[in-house]
Amino acid sequence: MPANLTPEFLAARQRLNQASSDEERMEALQEMLATIPKHKGTEKMQADLKRRLAKLKERAEQRRRSGKSGGPSYHVEPEGAAQIALVGPPNSGKSSLVAALTNAKTEVAPYPMSTFRPIPGMMPYEDVQVQLVDLPPITAEYTEGWVFGAARTADAVALCWDLADERSPQAVELVVEMLAERHVSLGGGPSRHVDWRTVERRTLLVGMRLDLSLDGLARAQEWAGGRFPVVGVSVETGEGLEDCKRRLFEIADVVRVYSKKPGQGADMEQPYTLRTGATVLDVVEHVHREFLDRLRFVRLWGSSKFDGQHAPMDHAVQDGDIVEIHLA
């Protein structure tokens, strides 16, 4: 029977027994290994502790690789015209941006890892609302799988970059790489499915802390090199915020279509919102599913040459178009 177990060892053993997560178990086991009296009588016990610790570490590593955490998982129900996920390294300003552009009460803090669950907020833009989702940071050490999932299911991504931090290129590159490993590829083109598991997400690089940096924006632009559009903002002075809103609306790839009843003016208050590429037929279905059965023709104003002519059903509508649906 091993003798001379220290109070520190016994306290750590108690913590191990009461631990509710693998992190706590690993911490307790490490403490037990450090404080166990090292003599012949405890050799078997030492080996046993090491084995248990190795097993837990392996499990954590597997979870990290597969992007599954076994921990909590969150899903944000989409609302408004589109959903944009905020990703980036710790302390890069994600929460500050969401707080500045939406009504969300999200925690802004001068230390990293302050956000640990998704916080949605609605950003008003002209006559529509775009949902921004504040997320925890993406780091090599510890990021729960659902964070990558949130970027995958969003319509577009805002990638936050601290203009005042010289380590931003490496930190942001890591974020891009970790997402790519999980088959979420960030790019400047329209969001799309690439194959059965890979998605591309249209991305805006948002340089934060413009007020604290003179040449940071040029460096961010150089790094982005045409991969992503770049916008610089300061939540302190408000500089760039309006531009940022517009650019976020642009990456959301939303088209607004207004409806008009025959013989009346168009309802310019409440647009229908669809994805870029939506056709006249998509609009009809969006307005009312049952209209499809009774549809005769659609008159269109706006899109390139259209000025009230009958529009082909496969014509792609454009932002600001007005439709007049004629039913049988």
Tell me which residues touch ligand GTP (CB under 6 A).
88, 90-96, 108-110, 112-115, 137, 160, 208-209, 211-212, 234-236
Judged by CB under 5 A, the residue of 42, 83, 92, 95 near Mg ion is 95
Rounded-to-integer distance, Cα 155 and Cα 252, Å: 6
Burial of residue 220, with CB atoms counted within 10 A of its CB: 0-12 exposed, 13-18 middle, 19 or more buried: buried
Which of these segments, 49-57, 114-122, 199-207, 231-239, binds Mg ion (CB under 5 A)? 114-122
Q: Rounded to the nearest whole angstrom, what is the least distance from the CB of residue 268 to ligand GTP in the complex?
A: 35
Q: Rounded to the nearest whole angstrom, what is the least distance from the CB of residue 148 to Mg ion in the complex?
A: 17
Rounded-to-integer distance, Cα 187 and Cα 228, Å: 6
Residue number with CB closer to ligand GTP (111 or 196): 111
Work out what residue 303 binds among Mg ion, ligand GTP, none; the CB cut-off runs from 5 to 8 Å by kind: none
> DSSP string of 116-174?
-S-EEEEEEETTEEEEEEE-----SS---HHHHHHHHHSSEEEEEEETT-TTHHHHHHH
Number of residues that bind Mg ion (CB under 5 A): 4
Work out what residue 131 binds among Mg ion, ligand GTP, none; the CB cut-off runs from 5 to 8 Å by kind: none
Count CA atoms within 13 Å of residue 200 on its CB side.
Answer: 13
Which of these segments, 92-100, 178-186, 205-213, 273-281, binds Mg ion (CB under 5 A)? 92-100
Residue number with CB closer to ligand GTP (95 or 131): 95
Work out what residue 91 binds among Mg ion, ligand GTP, none; the CB cut-off runs from 5 to 8 Å by kind: ligand GTP
Residue number with CB closer to Mg ion (99 or 257): 99
Residue number with CB closer to ligand GTP (93 or 271): 93
Residue number with CB closer to ligand GTP (99 or 251): 99
Rounded-to-integer distance, Cα 159 and Cα 89, Å: 9
> Phi/psi at 140 (nearest 5 deg)?
-70, -30
> Buried (b) or exposed (e) across 91-113, using 16+ Cβ within 10 A?
bbbbbbbbbbbbebebebeeeee
Binding residues among 185-244 for Mg ion as defined by CB under 5 A: none
Residue number with CB closer to ligand GTP (142 or 301): 142
> DSSP string of 70-122?
SS--------SS-EEEEE-STTSSHHHHHHHHSS------SSSS---S-EEEE
Pairing of strands 199-208, 230-232: parallel
Quick check: 115 binds Mg ion (CB under 5 A)? yes
Q: Rounded to the nearest whole angstrom, what is the least distance from the CB of residue 247 to ligand GTP in the complex?
A: 16
Residues in touch with Mg ion (CB under 5 A): 94-95, 114-115
